[in-house]
């Protein structure tokens, strides 16, 4: 993992990196507690917070939520292009995670409220994760450690039920836009990877859980101040290949 750090230190921009082998407990971090812009990666802890409200009976996955024109949020997603209609909470979670839909995310956040979201993040132990409650502001912050912790919590079923934990993992394992840290990996291997990516101008992030026979591995790479998106994608893709090579050759 030191090779990954040396590589990122030589790249333009600012980087954060965290790796953990859940079986052995081996960890490696680089700027892992430094707050950085989360971009779409924020949707992972948001989904966990909403699902916790479901488990506590504050919401139901079958509750209907009306989306109208003023609910539309620019950026990623498909709901901004569709006519007004009702969606279930479960459908909004699915679209938020699989399509990284900003409109679904904002509607779910408004549904549970920023105070509730903050409380849920604290319950999860996400000490450096915060969603901006200023209307129209897309800047949210987290760390590579906090995002990795989300996977650890889901894998161990420590916060949500095993059923709901597994549901989120499987949704993000089936999501097929694995073009950042998993870019250079073989297609069959990508089926063993659950990931949530995020990007904004000058920012490329990816957080990942790899489930293998030899063990379960978590890693997150965040970046900012990049010269352009292609440069950031190359940085993450090469780092992901180095991490995978490390798992392949250094872990039994």
Backbone torsion region of residue 186, taken as left when φ is above 0, otherwise alpha when ψ lies between -120 and 50, otherwise beta: beta
How many angstroms separate the CA atoms of 6 and 22, rounded?
24
Half-sphere exposure (Cβ direction) of 63: Cα atoms closer than 13 Å: 18
Alpha helices by DSSP H, 141-224: 144-156, 162-174, 187-190
134 by Cβ neighbours in 10 Å (0-12 / 13-18 / 19+) ranks as exposed
pLDDT tens column, 39-77 = 999 999 999 999 999 999 999 999 999 988 787 877 777
What's the domain count of the chain? 1
Nearest residue to 183 (alpha-carbon basis) of 146, 143, 232 = 232
Q: Mean pLDDT over all residues of the chain?
A: 91
Q: Which helix (H) or strand (E) holds 241?
A: helix 229-250
| Full residue range of the structural domain in which residue 132 is found | 1-250
Check whether 99 has a pLDDT greater than 60.
Answer: yes
Confidence of residue 36 (pLDDT cuts 50, 70, 90): very high
CATH of the domain at 37: 3.40.710.10
Predicted pLDDT of residue 46: 97
pLDDT tens column, 75-92 = 777 787 777 789 999 999
Confidence of residue 15 (pLDDT cuts 50, 70, 90): very high
66 by Cβ neighbours in 10 Å (0-12 / 13-18 / 19+) ranks as exposed
How many angstroms separate the CA atoms of 247 and 83, rounded?
46
Predicted pLDDT of residue 84: 79
Helix/strand/coil for 234: helix
Half-sphere exposure (Cβ direction) of 202: Cα atoms closer than 13 Å: 7
């Amino acid at each position: 993992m030191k090779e990954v750090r040396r590589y990122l230190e030589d790249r333009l921009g600012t980087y954060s990196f965290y790796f953990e082998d859940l079986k052995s407990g081996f960890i490696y971090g680089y700027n892992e507690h430094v707050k950085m812009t989360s971009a779409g990666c924020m949707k992972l802890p948001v989904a966990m917070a909403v699902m916790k409200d479901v488990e506590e009976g504050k919401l139901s996955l079958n509750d209907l939520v009306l989306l109208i024109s003023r609910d539309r949020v620019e950026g990623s997603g498909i709901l901004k292009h569709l006519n007004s209609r009702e969606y279930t909470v479960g459908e909004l979670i699915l679209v938020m995670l699989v399509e990284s839909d900003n409109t679904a995310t904002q509607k779910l956040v408004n549904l549970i409220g920023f105070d509730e979201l903050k409380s849920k993040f604290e319950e999860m132990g996400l000490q450096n994760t915060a969603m901006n409650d200023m209307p129209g502001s897309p800047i949210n912050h987290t760390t590579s450690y906090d995002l990795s912790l989300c996977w650890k919590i889901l894998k161990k079923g420590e916060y949500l039920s095993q059923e709901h934990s597994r549901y989120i993992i499987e949704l993000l394992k089936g999501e097929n836009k694995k073009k950042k840290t998993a870019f250079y990996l073989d297609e069959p291997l990508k089926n063993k990877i659950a990931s949530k990516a995020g990007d904004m101008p000058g920012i490329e992030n990816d957080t990942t859980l790899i489930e293998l026979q030899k063990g379960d591995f978590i890693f997150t790479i965040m970046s900012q101040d990049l010269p352009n998106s292609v440069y950031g994608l190359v940085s993450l893709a090469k780092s992901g290949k180095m991490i995978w090579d490390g798992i392949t050759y250094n872990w039994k």
